[in-house]
Chains A and B, each alone.
Chain A
Amino acid sequence: MFSFEGFLDLPLIWYGLIGTALFLYVLLDGFDLGLGILFPFAPSDRCRDRMMNSIAPFWDGNETWLVLGGGGLFAAFPLAYAILMPALYIPVILMLLGLIFRGVAFEFRFKATGRSRQIWDYAFHFGSLAASFMQGMILGAFVRGIEVEGRGFAGSPFDWLNAYSVMTGMAVVFGYALLGASWLVMKTDGVTQDWARKCASYVLGYVGVFLGIVSISMPMINADVKTLWFSLPNFFYLLPVPLVTASLFVMIWRDLHRGREYRPFFLSIGVFLMGYLGLAISLWPWLVPFEITFRQAAAASTSQSLLLVGTAIMLPVVLTYTAFCYYLFRGKASHESTY
């Protein structure tokens, strides 16, 4: 059986790839979902049309990263997939239902007229809100650890539900709202842009507070995480993470008030990157936190090798034509009706 096991650290590569796919999903669908969260607060229906148009060509591709995250986890780390999905059964299904309402709203909203259009406005908003909140709760449940016995989930159906996961749920909702608002600052102008700019500076404060809570709470959940961050010399090596994050917040704040259009979005991505990095450092090398490492969960080396061949060829292609699509639909979005 062919395998690259001899000269490649396959589990590590896949840990990195899945992590990257998940991060790309969080970023790309993050601004879609953030738009949905802000949707009902927009000043007018024409603004809402514009908001929708600014992401209509992309959302489908963006959501595909979630499928890659799910499918990739199944392929590269079947054990982790088999433990996490039953453990997070209810929030995963609620997230999926939210994504269904969000997704069909794109197609249906422009075909609906009058009052029925409002149904899809609400479907878009509440679908996005539910999916974001559930993703945050999944994150909260994940970092608190999963109960495992043998090769299966051994906890109860509501292990994921607690004050901490509610907090992380809200954190993700505000984080996505920041991405969505700064996306709109970049992709629109006029009234919509002014409103988006206000939204962005408003949610920016909340994002800072939540990021602070999560950062402080992580070391309290697990003693190993605490020693990782607060022992010397680690403390100094890792100090740039919070420092860079803090300066990003300051820069976003100033950009928003100086009328810059592109930078806030990319700086918000930077905030997400730093937050994700912080989590990744804390949770290394766990794939099912504090029970199963990525090495224990790895699929057979031939399976990881086979998919790696495809990934090495296809991922650059995927990234290229994703970039091509964003390039093709560059510039400000209009409020005109869809295709």
Chain B
Amino acid sequence: MIESLDPVLLARIQFAFTIAFHIIFPAFTIGLASWLAVLEWRWLRTGKAVYAEVYRMWVKIFAVTFGMGVVSGVVMSFQFGTNWSVFSDRAGNVLGPLLGYEVLTAFFLEASFLGVMLFGWNRVSPRMHFASTLIVAAGTLVSAFWILSADSWMQTPAGFRVADDGLFYPTSWLHVIFNPSFANRFVHMITAAYLTTAFVVGGIGAFYLWRGRHESHARVMFGMAMIMAIFVAPLQLVLGDLHGLNTLEHQPAKVSAMEGLWETQQGAPLKLFGWPDQEGAVTRYSIELPRLSSLILTHSLDGEVKGLNEWPPEERPPVAWVFWSFRVMVGIGLLMILTGVVALVLHLRNRLFDTRWFQYGCMAMMPAGFVAVLAGWFVTEIGRQPYIVYNVMRTEEAVSPVAGPPIALSLAAFVVTYVFVFGAGSYYILRLIGKGPDTEEEPYGAHGVKEPPLVTGLVSRKGDQSV
């Protein structure tokens, strides 16, 4: 049976699994690194211990998450070759340098200064330590810049030509890097990462408030998270709308799939829910709001929206996946905005920190960002199908000459490993959360350890000699 497995589908599932697993960590660490920088800045400015204590608690969580992000990211640098070798060969001239720049300008920066951020407490001055935090935060953003540029190029390829040998040759690096969908995607994704982090932090702050533990720390976490929910969640709706309009211009089939619209229509309705039937080329059982789709996409009540029937069946993406993932993403986005609105109202009534039902709600919203990020990636990547490079190279042409069984077995190995590792990582993060911030008096950075930490060449106590 295993011999009959389709290598293309398996390669796609394996790539989707490894990258979906990976994206969870950057989505969290991008926001967390920036937030840690803000915390440390507040601490240096105000000298209030609470900021340092919150920092010290979260930097441990950051370390675990970052570690998992690194190990799952190393896998990605090989997955292009192991699973998509023909694509790597043909698109290498264009995409290779972008990925190379990501390693050179971001990975080394993050990896080296993370060491200082975690272990350098007593070895560098507070200013130097703050600089390390800033560098790590900048590194996460630079990394996102390059990888999103590469991804956007696959969505909206530009600045290249296809030579007779089938290889892609760059003609303008500026057009390659700043391809038409890059700016929108970058801003949308960074904002998503910030919101993801904010809702995790806010949920944990809510948990402490609800339990009546670590109140002053919880206020910092919860308060800062709610600022993000109030201001950034609505902003994300605007950014998402702009991104959608950009997609409509460059990848209209994807937008039609998001809308579940088959027939081209003027004054197209917004289908709230329904069941897209790929075979029958129709969306069944749909609940519609008249003309709203045209209003959103064309900003006019009877603008024309293209339906999927404009494309032959083999050019259409898997509609149900795109349609539903899009609804999950938007639904969560709206819940985040609602959270912000409620937070604002409660704040104006001076009840923000002691409304118990709202604390429940915020705890429930903790995983929301991750789900929304994954759903968003499903929309954009599945919506790109059946192409790997949109309108230029089809996914089934791109696959490596590796048979089904090795891919299936390695996929199984990845699933088992990742579930085990991810499970353990989550368990340790939950334990760190359960423990909460350390508030006992201790020198800056001793980090719960009374002795000078780690690699101490300066201090060699007598007891050490026998070890």
Q: Does B348 contact A (CB under 8 A)?
A: no
* Complex Cα–Cα for A157 and B82 (A): 12
Q: Whole-angstrom distance between the alpha carbons of A311 and B97 in the complex?
A: 10
Q: Mark A294-329, 1 if CB is under 8 A from B, else 0.
A: 000001101100110011001100100110110011
CB distance from A306 to the nearest CB of B (A): 5
B342 touches A (CB below 8 Å)? no
Q: Is the CB of B88 within 8 A of A72?
A: no
Counting CB contacts under 8 A, is B99 at the interface?
yes
Residue numbers in A under 8 Å from B103 (CB-CB): 64, 67-68, 71-72
A306: which B residues are within 8 A, CB to CB?
97, 170, 173
B303 at the A interface (CB under 8 A): no
Assess the A153–B401 pair: CB atoms within 8 A: yes
| CB–CB A81/B454 < 8 A | no
Selected contact of B431 from candidates A111, A311, A329, CB within 8 Å:
A111
> Which residues of A have CB within 8 Å of B116?
57, 325, 328
Query: In the bound complex, do residue A57 and residue B454 qualify as a contact, i.e. CB atoms below 8 Å apart?
Result: yes
Answer yes or no: A337 CB below 8 A from chain B CBs: yes
- Chain B contact residues: over half helix, strand or loop, or mixed? helix
The listed residue with most B CB atoms (<10 A of its CB), out of A2, A47, A107, A311, is A107
- A82 near B: Cβ within 8 Å? yes
Say yes or no for B273: interface residue by CB 8 A criterion: no
**Residues of chain B contacted by A63 (CB below 8 angstroms):** 70, 74, 111
Contact A111 B428 (CB under 8 A): yes
Is A307 within 8 A of B101, CB to CB? Answer: yes
A residues in contact with B77, CB < 8 Å: 66-67, 70-71, 74
Q: Any chain A CB within 8 A of the CB of B314?
A: no
- Interface pick from B233-241, B353-361, B459-467: B459-467
When the two chains form their complex, are residues B428 and A336 in contact, meaning their CB atoms are under 8 A apart?
no
Contact A334 B456 (CB under 8 A): yes
| Measured CA separation A117–B397 after assembly (Å) | 46
* A63-116 CB contacts (< 8 Å) to partner B: 63-64, 66-68, 70-72, 74-76, 78-79, 81-86, 89-90, 92-93, 96-97, 99-101, 103-104, 106-108, 111-112
**Nearest-Cβ distance from residue B103 to partner chain A, whole angstroms:** 5
B residues engaging A (CB < 8 A)? 59-60, 63-64, 67-68, 70-75, 77-78, 80-82, 85-86, 88-89, 91-97, 99-105, 107-109, 111-116, 118-121, 123-124, 167, 169-173, 400-403, 405-406, 410, 413-414, 417, 421, 424-425, 428, 431-432, 447-449, 451-460, 464-467
Among A171-179, A188-196, A220-228, the one that faces the other chain is: A188-196
Known pairs A61-B108, A103-B70, A324-B112 / 19 extra A-B pairs, C-beta < 8 Å: A53-B455, A57-B455, A60-B70, A67-B74, A68-B107, A78-B88, A79-B89, A82-B85, A86-B402, A90-B406, A103-B67, A103-B71, A104-B424, A108-B428, A190-B464, A310-B97, A315-B104, A322-B112, A339-B121
Cα–Cα distance between A154 and B400 once the two chains are bound (Å):
11
Q: Chain B nearest CB: distance from A282 CB in Å?
A: 24
Q: Identify B92's interface contact among A92, A106, A299, CB under 8 A.
A: A299
Confirm or deny: A20 has a beta carbon within 8 angstroms of a beta carbon on chain B.
Answer: no
Contacts of A335 in B (CB 8 A): 464, 467
Main SS class of interface, A: helix
Least Cβ distance of B334 to chain A in Å?
A: 36
- Give the shortest distance, in Å, between B434 (CB) and chain A (any CB): 12
Judged by a CB distance under 8 angstroms, whether A331 is at the interface is yes
With a cutoff of 8 Å between Cβ atoms, the chain B residues found around residue A112 in the complex are: 428
The answer to whether B465 and A190 have CB atoms under 8 Å apart is yes
CA distance A303 to B63 in the complex (A): 35
Asked whether A72 and B100 contact (CB < 8 A) given A191-B467, A333-B455, the answer is yes
Q: Which residues of A contact B59 (CB under 8 A)?
A: 339
- Are A85 and B64 in contact, with the CB atoms below 8 A? no
A residues in contact with B89, CB < 8 Å: 78-79, 81-82, 151-152
Tell me the bound Cα distance from A50 to B461 in angstroms: 14
Cβ-defined contact, B115 with A61, below 8 A: yes
Flag whether A332 is at the interface (Cβ < 8 A).
Answer: yes
Contact A93 B81 (CB under 8 A): no
CB of B456 within 8 A of CB of A331, answer yes
- CB A155 to nearest CB in B, in angstroms, measures 9
Provide a sorted-by-A list of 8 A–B residue pairs whose CB atoms are within 8 angstroms: A74-B77, A78-B96, A89-B406, A104-B67, A303-B93, A325-B112, A334-B459, A339-B447
Instruction: Please give the distance in Å from B115's CB to the nearest CB on chain A.
Output: 4
Considering the chains assembled together, what is the distance between the CA atoms of A89 and B451 in angstroms? Answer: 46
How many Å from the CB of B416 to the closest CB on chain A? 9
Which A residues are in CB contact (< 8 Å) with B123?
Answer: 328-329
A44 part of interface (Cβ distance < 8 Å) = yes
Instruction: Judge if A46 is at the interface, Cβ distance under 8 Å.
Output: yes
Shortest beta-carbon distance from B66 to chain A in Å: 8
**Residue A338 CB within 8 A of the other chain:** yes
Q: How far is the CA of A338 from the CA of B53 in the complex (A)?
A: 17
Give the CA-CA distance A299 to B165 in the complex, in Å: 13
A56 at the interface (CB under 8 A from B): yes
Contacts of B99 in A (CB 8 A): 71, 74-75
CA A267 – CA B279 in complex, angstroms?
68
Whether, in the assembled complex, A330 has its beta carbon less than 8 Å from a beta carbon of chain B, the answer is: yes
- Chain B nearest CB: distance from A189 CB in Å? 7
Residue of B nearest to A329 (CB): B455
Q: Is the CB of B114 within 8 A of A60?
A: yes
Give the Cβ gap from B376 to chain A, nearest Cβ, in Å.
Answer: 25
Cα–Cα distance between A187 and B118 once the two chains are bound (Å): 20
Residues of A contacting B451 with CB < 8 Å?
334, 336
* Contact A93:B82 (CB < 8 A) given known A315-B104, A335-B467: yes
Contacts of B105 in A (CB 8 A): 310, 314
Distance from A208 Cβ to chain B, minimum over Cβ atoms (Å): 31
Q: A72-B100, A310-B100, A336-B456 are in contact. Are A189 and B108 (CB under 8 A)?
A: no
| Docked-complex contact A321 and B112, CB < 8 angstroms | yes
Contacting residue for A61 out of B112, B119, B454, CB 8 A: B112
Residues of A within 8 A of B82 (CB): 85-86, 89, 92-93
Query: Please, which residues of chain A bring their CB within 8 A of the CB of B424?
Result: 104, 108
Please give me the 5 A-B residue pairs with the lowest Cβ-Cβ distance, nearest first. A331-B457, A78-B92, A85-B81, A75-B96, A82-B89
Q: Are A330 and B457 in contact (CB under 8 A)?
A: yes
